[in-house]
Every structure is written in C-alpha cells, then in structure tokens.
Structure 1
Amino acid sequence: MEQQFQTSTEAALHHYKEGLGTFTKKLPEVAESFNAFTEACFNEGALSRKEKQLIALGISLAMQDEYCTIYHTKGCLDQGASEQEILEACGVAAAFAGGAAMSQAVTLVQECVAELNRKH
C-alpha cells in the first residue's frame, strides 16, 4: 500500500477549507455573503480571471497573508498562469511592499508552485 503524504501547501489549503466550513456553520449568512461577494469579484470581466488571481497574489504578498498567498498561487495556476507570470506578479508586490513580500515570494510562492505543479 502506497503511503500518502500531504504537502505543506495541501495541508494549508485543507486547514483553510476546514476553518471556512466551521465558520460557515456558525455564521452562515456572513460566510455566504462574503463568498458571493468574493466570487463576483473574481468573475471574468474587463480583467480575466487569471489577471485577477495575479493581482490577488500580489496583494496577499503585500499583506503578508500566508493562507491567501497559497490560495491565490493555486488560483493563478488553476487559471493557467505560468511560473514566469506568477514570479513577475511577485516582483511587482516586492516593489510595492519591499522585503516582506520578496521573502514570501522566494520561499512560500516558489514552494507552492513546485508542489502544485507536481500534482498537475
């Protein structure tokens, strides 16, 4: 029997989804409203879904939000962003937010891309 292991990226995504599920049970109106708003924000429009994910990744880095950084790195990949596009978005975030964004880009984002690309 093959032993399964969870990568740190998968573990973080799972942890977030579990927390969201618990929160939704406790405050369904808030969670459902927030989720509907967020979904509307990421719908295709003048900007593509990929562009919106790249923007969200940059903001996540600038805000130093590790869960959102992981979530939106996955979102970028899911929307067809290349590693080069992702890293350029990280560079823009670093130009804005300095060393804190760069430190996450050179560690967390690159680890996420590597782990998630192994799954594709």
Structure 2
Amino acid sequence: MDQQQQQSSPIEMALQEYKEGIGTFTKKMPSIAKKYNAFTEACFEEGKLTKKEKQMVALGISIFSQDEYCIIYHTKGCLDEGCSEDEILEIVGVTAAFGGGAAMSQAVTLVQEAISELSQSQDNQLQ
C-alpha cells in the first residue's frame, strides 16, 4: 500500500481529523489546551502501571464509551506500546462483558480495522 492510499484510509483519516481538530482548538484556546495536554501526558506517564497497561485501560474505556476517535487513537497506542492483537482482543472481551453488544460492535468493526491498518503501517515503516 503506498503512502497516499494509507492517508486516505478511514483509520488514517480519523487520526488526521483528530490531529487537525486539536491543532485548531489549541490555536483558539491555548491555555486550556496546554493544561489539558499536560494533564493527559502526566496520566499516561510510566508509574505503578506501565504505559502499555495505561493504553490498554484507555482502550477499554474508549470502547465502552463508543468514542470512535479514542478507540482508534488508543488502539494505535496499544500497538505502539507493544500490545499483540490477542491482548487487544482480550481487552475487547472484558469491555464487552460490561458494555454488551454496543462494545462488541465497536470491536468487531473499528478495533479490528484499526489493528489491521495500523499494523500494516508499522510494518511498512520498519521496511
């Protein structure tokens, strides 16, 4: 898959839309954005939980709340922190135990699509 096709995929487009939205918000509300970013960065720093574990928690919450941008973002975060597909699918199972069919529907569509596309993207970057 060439770079132009990757950028036009729904997953890559969603990540780009989020990035652009944050950029616009930051320009319009710099003080709030700076404080929000500092807070979230602190939350995801290594502590008693690893960065990987924190991404896994965030993915579960994202699926449960059906926040599509965060589902994609934290699926990517999980992959970036070394999660395997099996680990991500276990997160899905636990989330579906609490969120039922709504959580499962996100998993069998968006999470699996994100894993597939983002894994291919990572493989292409390594080559």
| 1:104 counterpart = 2:85 | no
How many residue pairs are counted as aligned between the two chains?
119
Aligned equivalents of 1:41 and 1:90: distance in 2? 22
Segments ≥4 residues shifted beyond 3 Å: none
* 2:23 match: 21
Q: Which segment drifts farther, 45-54 or 3-12?
A: 3-12
Aligned equivalents of 2:4 and 2:13: distance in 1? 12
Aligned equivalents of 1:52 and 1:14: distance in 2? 23
Aligned equivalents of 1:36 and 1:3: distance in 2? 32
Aligned equivalents of 2:32 and 2:76: distance in 1? 25
Q: Calculate the TM-score normalised by the size of structure 2.
A: 0.91
- Compute the RMSD of aligned alpha carbons: 1.1
Q: Which runs of 5+ in 2 are unaligned?
A: 123-127
Q: Calculate the TM-score normalised by the size of structure 1.
A: 0.96
Aligned equivalents of 2:110 and 2:29: distance in 1? 31
Percent of pairs identical after alignment? 66
Aligned equivalents of 2:65 and 2:18: distance in 1? 17
Q: Which segment drifts farther, 3-12 or 58-67?
A: 3-12
* CA gap 1:3/1:12 in 2 versus in 1, 3 angstroms: closer
Displacement, 1:54? 0.5
Aligned equivalents of 1:96 and 1:39: distance in 2? 27
Q: Which runs of 5+ in 1 are unaligned?
A: none
Aligned equivalents of 1:68 and 1:15: distance in 2? 12
| 1:76 counterpart = 2:78 | yes
